Structure 1
Amino acid sequence: MTKYDWASLEALMQPRGIAVVGASPDAGKYPGKVIKNLGKSGFPGKIYPINPKYDEIFGYRTYKSVRDLPGPADVALLLIGAKNILGMLDDLIAIGTRTAIIYASGMAEASEAGVELQEQIAAKARAGGIRLLGPNTLGAINRDNGTWLSGAAVLGRETLIEGPLSMVTQSGGIMGSFLDRAMAHGIGFSKAIATGNEADINVADCVGYFAQDEATKAIAVFAESIRDIPKFTAACRLAADNGKPIVLMKTGRSERGKRVTQGHTAALIGNDDAYEALFADLGVIRVESLDDLFLIPNGIINLPRPKGKRVGVISASGGLAGLSADICDRVGITMATFSDATDAEVKELQTGYGSCFNPLDITGQVVTSETWWQVRHMHELLLKDPNVDVVVSGQAAGQYAEQTGIDLVEMAKAADKPLIPFWTGRDVNAGGLRRLRDANLPVFEQADAAFRAVKASVDYAAFLRERDTAESGKAVDTNFARGAVTMDAFPLTKTDVVVSLAEVEIVTLSLTPDDQVGPFLTFADADGSRRHGLIPWNSRQADMLAKRFVGENDSRRDVVRELIAKLAEIAITANLPTKAVLAFGRNGEPLRADFAQGNASDDA
């Protein structure tokens, strides 16, 4: 197995000295903003502005050349034009600089000439032992030690909130937006890196670095492509080993999105279904919202890990209860059935109003000073119910907002399961919201965001529980016959029952070879949903994949598991695109399986 030097980013994130090449005294220009931010950050090391036109910039002695520096410059900030970088690298190699940041654009993303220049720069840096960040980057930020190597506007905030979340993005603009929006929600960060064109340092390097960084507890990724799949896989596995969730947003799903992305950072996009399979196997949580990039990891790392997937919802609003039910169904959340003890006590408390159905509507009738204790008590009933693994509280608390916040914080801290509130008010409920955020209790302002976080938290906990056994199991049989697959290769119980089409469910399972990620499977269910996974290498992985595709208790699971194993054998021996179409009866009994090779389309 290849070993990667994740610590090679230490010079970038923990430098002793910083050379600012092309520094400017004009704080309105990007080179001036960079050095101004460094001066504000409290960086404890040495700052060396380099510009032959000046003797001093912002109070720092300024040098004519990097060769004149009196001490080490572990990182050089190259705030100069692209055409001047090759020559500057010679000087940096001579003084032993370990990392350089190239902010300039106009290279691989711009033209063939730019591609050639970027390759020349990367080759020279590699030969001289220098790691490169960029080109076309906004830089890097280590909030913890004042290494602010960026002119990002977000660094102009009065306060940068400290937190255990670190972020890597190929887009500099996204880095600033992400940090600003996260802190607006009271969520702080530790480190952020914008990789740009990735002439050298890439997303995988940064994920690996964060995975072994003690200050980082969760990792957010905004990616346009994954350039080094083996390194990315190793980095994600290291993060999982250390219990650090990775939440990722990736562009390039649509054809138009792919074209835009390729023009931005010269990224190679790849097959999105293949990426889905890769992320699922690595436990990477893929999201579609920029806010989910910080809301979901913040929830996972600040709450107890769910022991199961059964969710109980409680609300003092019938409207929020109904909304919650719809969202849970849409995102695939398993709703808990309350225990008999919970059911009996709730019914006693709610005589004449409310319901004991999940979601539990306690109604506004209990939101009075005399009956307020019932609100807390019914939360506590769900928290101690053995049939409930996660509790979600939908709040529109009004005049009792602050007391609600106090109670939720106290109950969450005492509970051994997650208690997740979503808070629908703004100014009227500000006191309660402040109580929750001051206590670092994850809180969501939209119900759908809360339930997406619940689903992600439950799925990630299940992934961690199962991954330790995924490597065990009988290896896939590679003696499976090569060539065309026939019905004899996958016998089903014969049936003479005649059924109507209304009583038949058609699903497909497709094997698709992929040069970047490797062969993967796509399961298209009868309801139109699609799930993906890399091919399994042993029986245990095949079993886990079947559970991901159809669910743990689905009657189709055994048949799907067997078919997964057959397609894995084909991937190992022949690696031909293969599609299986399966027909199941209304009770999940297998009726027929047909196969085709040479076309991986999964349209039923």
Structure 2
Amino acid sequence: MISLPAISTSAPHWAQALLHPRSVALVGISDDMTKTAARPLAFLRRAGFAGRIYPVNPSRATVQGEPAFPSLSALPEVPDHAFILTGTQAAITTVEECGRLGIPVATILAGGFSEAGPEGAVNEMWLKEVARRHGVRVLGPSSIGVANLKEKLILTANAAFSEPDLPVGSVFVGSHSGSLIGALLSRGKARGVGFAGLVSVGAESDLSMGEICAATLDDPEITGYLLFIETMRHADTLQAFALQAAQRGKPVAAYKLGRSPEAAELAVSHTGALAGADDIADTFLRECGIARVESFEGLIDILPLLQRLPSSPRHRAPTVGVVTTTGGGAAMVVDQLAIRGVSVVAPSDATRERLAAAGVDGGHGRIVDLTLAGTRYDVMKATLDVMLKAPEFDLVLATVGSSARFQPDLAVKPLVDTARTHERPFAAFVVPDAPNALLHLAAAGIPNFRSPETCGDVIAAAFSRRPPRPDLPLLEPSYATSGPARMLDEAEAYDLFRSVGITHAPVALVAPGTDIPELPFPYPVVAKVLDANIAHKTDVGGVVLGIQDQAALARAIEDIRRTVEARRPDTSVSRILVQPMQRGLGEALIGLRRDPQVGPIVILAAGGVFTELYHDRALRLAPVDRDGARAMIQEVRAMKIFAGYRGKPRGDLDALTDAIVAVSRLAALRDQVVLDAEINPVLILPEGEGVVAVDALVRVAEYAR
């Protein structure tokens, strides 16, 4: 059972002020309706917010026809929430005034903080100190605001909220990007998706996306969460929220920027935070039980499917059965599912027999193509009734053709009626542009898609979702180290790996210019420069292979000394590490990296010099158990050869499993912080003979006492 950190399950005082304020102050509200800073007052009035609204503008007696106050201290009461619409410096001083008056929450629209370079970073440090000293919780900076649609709180400057008749629903949205909450709102309205609340967290100088979402978990009217993520900053609170959401059965889906280096660069410049490697973020989200979609459209479409398809451990590829009235439309979906690892499978013989008994020609192919007969209610309804009882399908997908545009209610009526009588998950792809048909499906709670790409994306993401790991390590908000980080030399690294149970090739240490001792292992051997400051020994001529005898070893040691000192004039070679030449069936890399945002990550990859080139690797949050390690081995394509591929000798994958688990334990050491650790390569020996580390890199720091 996971022990959760102390995020209150009942809404804390700041959450009441943020999302359910009885009164709000609009500091710096503009009278010019063409300006962004004028919108919040107009939105609140138009929506019919029942709380008290106080315009604050020191240069005007009235704003938008309402009396204005010169300052927060001039208000007749202390408001619950201040929305600060001023510039950067004035925003900081206003937060200080909030603290003096006892205003619990301030939202800051202005930028000019961490995203603005060194000067902005100073501003953000000042803001954090002022907020901490005065006890004010801050949303932002660079937050475009917050909306609680159930209570008609439209406390935002996002122009999309000028849209009339905003649909209220059960979805809560957290976004690093302010403009994206407006995009979700407008696109959601077109799809019949309503929202309970939306919050733009901005730069998260204080309140984080995870904290805010966690504060809403006990609201019974919120059934799921959509997150637009630019950075994994505050991963600890995001993790805590995700675990609690899973316990309550409330699905969480995310769209994260940063799959490309260019997008990651934009995320950094936008939020002022380290974007991090995308596959590390992907690992973190997956192990927290968060479904990650590849498309923004998929983020809007995924929650209905997640609510029909509970997360569960899977030990095989998911299977989908497709019934269609249009073969071409179905083929597009099959293609999109297949490239994402989701199998479209044919009905079993037993299922075809049941279809025939129901008067339906199930054909003989992978999909059930009803052709024009499928436009008849009785044919489609009977087919769905049979397929939704078939054990070979994890999901049934109905593909609807042109009738969905011209007779939208009739085309989807068999699907809507089926949804009322079946608990099994099914979804619909509507091929033509048929917004009314999609609205009918959405109203019935049926997952529906308007493009094959989004359909494939969402179904794959939903099936990829797993329950959070039961042993998932809880992230610490931060860890403190003392002194600079330092590299271990290879001999020291072997000692560290040996302490957690990893076998390494035997070693002997020789000083250049001394007599060559008798080695405790036979020739041929390899000689390597031993220096903590030289990570890549081959690059500086620090490695000689295939040394056959004592005389050749003496020459090799002198060659290494002379070459390394010529290429690295600041280096004096004092020690050479000697090991026996060993061969295995192949090589792997096992590593541990302490990511600054999500903590320690374990890596398994194809070993050798081409590791980075092929990018064939599996990642997990550390530590991992043997089941997790075995799953990592299955994910790395290069490891398949060691499972007896095409009659090749089997490698000792049990020993490799144990080595992965052992490396992951380095994350839990208490005497020092292992920042990076890598064995490359670890030789994989024949089955039953183990694995052997033949090169190692480790970087450590000391915990602050």
Structure 1 length-normalised TM = 0.83
Distance, in Å, in 2 between the alignment partners of 1:156 and 1:49 is: 19
Name the counterpart of 1:102: 108
1:219 is displaced (CA, Å) by 1.5
Deviations 1:277-324 (A, max 9, x none): 2122111222221111221123323x3537774321111222233323
What is the CA distance between 1:394 and its match in structure 2? 0.9
How far does residue 483 in structure 1 lie from its aligned partner after superposition? 8.5
Taking the TM superposition and a 5 Å limit, the aligned residue runs for 1:202-351 are 202-301=208-307, 303=308, 305=310, 309-336=318-345, 338-346=347-355
Over 3 Å counting, the alpha-carbon distance change for 1:536 and 1:311 in structure 2 is farther
Q: 1:84-483 to 2 correspondence within 5 Å?
A: 84-301=90-307, 303=308, 305=310, 309-336=318-345, 338-346=347-355, 355-364=363-372, 366-367=373-374, 372-398=377-403, 401-426=408-433, 429=434, 431-460=436-465, 463-464=466-467, 467=469, 481=499
Spell out, residue by residue over 1:126-183, the C-alpha distance to the aligned partner (whole angstroms, 9 max, x if none): 1111011111221111111122111111111111111111111111122222222222
CA contact (8 A) 2:242 2:288 kept: yes
Task: Describe the shift of the 1:199–1:30 C-alpha distance in structure 2 as closer, same or farther (beyond 3 A).
Answer: same
- 1:416, CA displacement in angstroms? 1.5
* 1:276/1:532 contact within 8 Å kept: no
Task: Give distance in 2, aligned partners of 1:274 and 1:376.
Answer: 44
1:48 aligns with 2:54: yes
Give, as a single letter, the amino acid of the residue that structure 2 aligns with 1:414: T
Per the TM alignment, residue 337 of structure 1 is displaced from its structure 2 partner at its CA by: 5.2
Partners in 2 of 1:214 and 1:283 — Cα distance?
Answer: 20
8 Å CA contact 1:23, 1:32 repeated in 2: yes
- What is the distance in 2 between the residues matched to 1:554 and 1:218? 42
Q: Is residue 29 of structure 1 aligned with residue 116 of structure 2?
A: no
Q: CA deviation at 1:221?
A: 1.6
- Give the SS at the match of 1:273: helix
Structure showing greater radius of gyration is 2
Corresponding pairs, count: 564
Give the one of 592, 608, 618 matched to 1:512.
Answer: 592
Q: Aligned to 1:572, which of 645, 665, 669?
A: 665
Q: Is the 8 A contact 2:27 2:86 kept in 1?
A: yes
Give the partner amino acid of 1:403: L
Change (3 A) 1:44 1:333: same
The answer as to whether partners of 1:306 and 1:390 remain within 8 angstroms in 2 is: no
Q: Using a 3 Å threshold, how does the CA distance of structure 1 residues 386 and 207 change in structure 2: closer, same or farther?
A: same
> What is the CA–CA distance in structure 2 between the aligned matches of 1:357 and 1:582, rounded to whole Å?
46
Q: Which amino acid aligns with 2:203?
A: N
Name the residue aligned to 1:563. 656
Q: 1:367 and 1:228 mapped to 2: Cα distance?
A: 51
CA distance in 1, matches of 2:103, 2:66: 20
Letter in 2 for 1:190: A
User: How far apart are residue 72 of structure 1 and its match?
Assistant: 2.7
Q: Per the alignment, in what secondary structure is the counterpart of residue 193 of structure 1? A: strand
Deviation, 1:63, is 1.4
Shift of 1:258: 3.1
**Closer, same or farther: CA 432–225 of 1 in aligned 2, 3 Å:** closer
Amino acid at match of 2:347: F
Aligned partners of 2:251, 2:681: CA distance in 1, in Å?
A: 34
Question: In structure 2, what is the Cα distance between the partners aligned to 1:431 and 1:269?
Answer: 40
Q: 137-146 or 554-563, which moves further after superposition?
A: 554-563
Q: Larger deviation: 313-322 or 516-525? A: 516-525
Counterpart Cα distance in 1 of 2:213 and 2:695: 37
Distance 1:131 1:266 in 2: 20
What is the distance in 2 between the residues matched to 1:253 and 1:151? 29
Distance 2:504 2:42 in 1: 70
Q: 1:21 to 1:357 in 2, by over 3 A?
A: same
Distance 1:335 1:75 in 2: 52
Q: Judging changes above 3 Å, is the alpha-carbon distance between structure 1 residues 259 and 544 closer, same or farther for their aligned structure 2 residues?
A: closer
The answer as to whether partners of 1:93 and 1:129 remain within 8 angstroms in 2 is yes
- In the superposition, relative to structure 1, how do residues 487 and 357 fare at CA in structure 2: closer, same or farther (>3 Å)? farther
* CA pair 91-306 structure 1, distance change in 2 beyond 3 A: closer
How far apart are 1:17 and its partner, in Å?
0.9
- 8 Å Cα contact 1:246/1:285 also seen in 2: yes
Separation in structure 1 between the aligned mates of residue 690 and residue 330 of structure 2, nearest angstrom: 42
Q: Distance in 2 between matches of 1:114 and 1:596?
A: 47
Which of 67, 73, 80 is the equivalent residue of 2:73? 67
Per-residue deviation, residues 398-424 of structure 1 (Å, max 9, x unmatched): 265432311101101211211100101
Per-residue deviation, residues 420-463 of structure 1 (Å, max 9, x unmatched): 0010112xx55533422332322111123223222232333xx2
User: Does the 8 A contact of 1:98 with 1:131 survive in 2?
Assistant: yes
Q: 1:545 to 1:144 in 2, by over 3 A?
A: farther
Q: CA deviation at 1:67?
A: 1.1
Quote the offset at 1:75 in angstroms. 0.8
Aligned residue for 1:376, secondary structure, equals: helix
